Each structure stands twice: as structure tokens, then as C-alpha cells.
Chains A and B, each alone.
Chain A
Amino acid sequence: MTTSTRATRILGWATAITMVLTGWMALVISPADAVQRDAVRLLYLHVPTAWIAMYVSFGITTLASALYLWKRTRSRFWDIAAGASAEIGLVFIGLTLLVGSIWGRTTWGVWWTWDARLTSTAVLFVTYLGYLAVRRIPHEPLARSRRAAIVALAAFLNVPLVHYSVEWWRTLHQPASILSQRRLGDPQIHGVMAWTLLLAVVAFTILYAWLLIHRFRLAWVEEQAEEDALAIAIAERHAEADATPEPQVTS
């Protein structure tokens, strides 16, 4: 059994082509930064993954969870879509943190700093880790799906609260750090760099769509297989019961 169709194969090829193009643009065409040198090329990995994870993946998870909770649109489709999207989002946000950490080491000299954006991203990461944990608990599937959907909505609710509290923590407490000034103080971006970044975002969006469709279908097939296995097991027990002769009643 395969989860690919003609459409996903086309999507897969589109991903591969745009990714190769992005790699070429990022590593060969776009210039190195005057200050950061080649390390600036991490931008083309760091920004798209962050963007997809935070706005697209978790956005779709929230939307799908809301649709699952709403009685009129409740279906397995939305529940599975929410889970699939969150999984990919978690991988992407993990990549964002990892790449960001490496970047931070080369330019700031530290793997981690308690900057507002870093901290809220880390909290977001753990929050969705918890969401996926709820999806994995051994429990009656429908009740589990409902609880997971509620957790997803609460996680979304929490995003602005975490964002503002952490932002205040780092601004009320001490003057704005050099890090954020350096980041915000230089909005100019080279023309080629801007185009490369745009291409990278497109490439990662297609990658996300491709992964989402496959992950969704896999989960769907998995669920079908579980149901089938149950039906077969029941049928087998019935057959066994029919095959064994009735116990002789002697009195």
C-alpha cells in the first residue's frame, strides 16, 4: 500500500526542484554577509522553518481542532489533520531551534541566550510536545481525540500570553539587549538575499504540504488497518465458536 498518488508525486518533484534551487541560490549565488560571513546563509533554513512551524502548521492544527470540536463539522478527517500538522510543525520548530542555536554559536558566541524570541519559541515547542503526548496516550480513541482538540485550542490560546510575558520579562527588566538591536537595527537586505529567502519559503511551504498529505494518509490508513484487524479478530472468534461443537448437556 502506498500513500502517494499522481498529485503527491508532482508535489514531491516540485519540492525536490525548489529545494535544490534554494540550496544553489543560498550557497552559491547569494553573497556572504560583511559581518557574519558565510554564517548568514543559515537564514535560508532558519526563517522558513520558523515561519512554517509557527504560522502554517500550528495554525492548521488549531483550525482543524476547532472544526473537530464543532459538532457539525466533526469527523476523523479534522482530528487526523490536526495531529499530522502538529507533528510536522514540531519537527520544523525543532529545526528552527537547532539551526538558530548553531547560528547563535557562530555569531553571538553562545548556544543559547534568554532572548525573548528564543524563550517563547522554546515554550511553544514544549507546549506542542505536550499536545502530541496527549494524542499518544492509551485511551478510548474518540475521547482522546476530543481531549487532544481541547488541548490544541488551549495551546493556541497560550501563545500570545507567553509571547507578551516573555517580551516584558526581557524589556521591563533590563534595557533591550544588543541581540535584538542587532537583529532589528539592520532591516536592509540585499536584493539577491531577499529573492533567495522568498524561494526558500516557497520551497519549505511545498515541502510542508507534501509531508502533510503523506502523514495524513498514513495515519488514515493506520486507523483503517486497526479497524480491519479488529473486524477480522471478531470474525475469527465467531468462526471458532461455530466450529466447536455445542457442549453436550448431560443430566
Chain B
Amino acid sequence: MLRDAALVAGKDLRIELRSKVATNQVLPFAVLTLIIFAFALDADRGLLSTVAAGLFWVTVLFSGLLAIQRSFALEAGDDARDALRLSGLDGAAVFLGKAAAVTVQLLALEVLLAVGAVVLYDVSLSGAALLIATCLLATAGIAAAGVVYGAVAAGLRVRETLLPLLLLPVLAPVLLAAARASEAALATTTAAGWPWVRLLAVFSAVYLAFGVVAFGPLLEEA
């Protein structure tokens, strides 16, 4: 199953690499969002460095919505979705593959955004272990839940508007936990960060398990 998942992930990533939509549109969008926040919050008052963690994760969330929509738009044309279904790949493998591809893209995006935050928001990166654990687990959670709901919305005429409505409430715990853990890592608060990382781990595990079970039925009857 893991080999099949790697096949699906490889396919998605290869398409993204060749179509360059992720690098030419999603990445610039994310950086643009960082700049927009600076306009909204008056960049010169030192406010940005205190709220940087929260803004960072909101940006990741919005870019994640785009990445997830992309992940299913890939299969919208030429009945590629039916082809995927007929390929004999297990639903769970397709789910894990797509989630892995989204995770890889978002992690790359987060590295770039972190650099952006350092440059634009005057953030000094510290607490590396906590920060890396937070990024890995939060991104896995966003990707797992996102791919489940992406499949729910896939193939519908209203998918662009439906996905945020479904996904954002579900990702509320991730946003909360990731923002708090990052704040702790960047030492903008004195609160402990690791309990939040545990919550992120539980969230990712729950949605990965749910996706493995639910993705087969979701693919079947699209």
C-alpha cells in the first residue's frame, strides 16, 4: 500500500513540478498575504513580530486551501478521476499519496514563509526542535483533513466555495495549537509549547485514520 501511496504522491508532485502552478501562483500568493497583513496591521509599530506566529499559520491555512483544491483539480479534466478509480489502487493508498503530496508542498511553502517572516516581520527563529515538530505535525494534519474534505467537494460545481466552509472549522484546533506552539518556540509567550504539539499529533493521527477508512467510499461514488 505504501508503494501505491508513493506512486500517487509522485504523480501529483511531478504534475505540480511541471505545471509550475504551485511555484508560480500559490507561493507568490502566500508571500503576498504576508505583505497584506503588514499593511493591515501597521508594520512600524512592532506589532507584527508579536503576532507573527498567528499570521504565519493563517497564511499557511489559506495557501493550504489552494493546494488542496489544486490536488483535486489535477484529476478534474479528461476523466482522470475515473482513471484513478479504475487503476485498481486502494482508496487508502490514494488518500495517503495525495496527503503526502500536499504535505510536501506545504512544508516547502512554510520554509519560504518562515524566511519571509524573518525578513518582513523581524522574527528571530528560536526553539528549532519545537518549531520543526509543530510544522511537521500541523502540516500533516492540514493535509490529511484537507484531502478528506477535498474529496467531499471534488467534482461539484460549488467546490471552490464549499471547501473553505467545510475545512476551516475543522482546522480550528490545528490553527490554535500550531499558533500557540510557534509562539512558545519564538518565545513571544512564556506558555509551554509541547502540549500543543501533542494535540497536533492526535489531530493528525485521527484524520489520517479517518481518511484511510473513508476515502475508498468517497472515491467510489463521485
Contacts and interface: CB of A to CB of B under 8 A. Distances in A.
B105 to A, nearest CB: 23
Contacts, number: 85
A126 B162 CA distance: 12
Interface in A151-186: 151, 153-155, 157-158, 161-162, 164-166, 168-169, 172-173
B210 A154 contact: yes
A164 B177 CA distance: 10
Contacts of A164: 173, 199
B202 interface: yes
Contacts of B177: 165
A142 interface: yes
B196 A130 contact: no
B214 interface: yes
A93 to B, nearest CB: 13
Nearest to B174: A165
A162 B165 contact: no
Given A146-B221, A168-B195, A134 B210 contact: no
A172 B156 contact: no
Given A127-B169, A168-B196, A147 B218 contact: yes
A150 interface: yes
Nearest to A163: B173
A12 B166 CA distance: 35
B152 A147 contact: yes
A165 B162 contact: no
Interface of A: 69, 123, 126-127, 129-130, 133-134, 137-139, 142-143, 146-147, 150-151, 153-155, 157-158, 161-162, 164-166, 168-169, 172-173
Interface residues of B, number: 32
Task: Identify whether the interface residues of B are mostly helix, strand, loop, or mixed.
Answer: helix
Interface of B: 148-149, 152, 156-158, 162, 165-166, 168-170, 172-173, 176-177, 180, 189, 191-192, 195-196, 199, 202-203, 206, 210, 214, 217-218, 221-222
A129 B165 contact: yes
Given A127-B169, A162-B172, A173-B191, A137 B158 contact: yes
A130 B157 CA distance: 16
B155 to A, nearest CB: 8
B165 A143 contact: no
B172 A123 contact: yes
Given A133-B162, A147-B152, A151-B152, A161 B195 contact: no
Contacts of A166: 172-173, 176
Contact of B166 (A130, A142, A143, A146): A130
Contacts of B168: 126
A151 B173 contact: no
Contact of B162 (A137, A169, A173): A137
A126 B164 CA distance: 11
A153 B149 CA distance: 12
A168 B199 CA distance: 10
B176 A123 contact: no
Contacts of B157: 137-138
Contacts of B180: 169, 172-173
Given A157-B206, A165-B176, A168-B196, A150 B169 contact: no
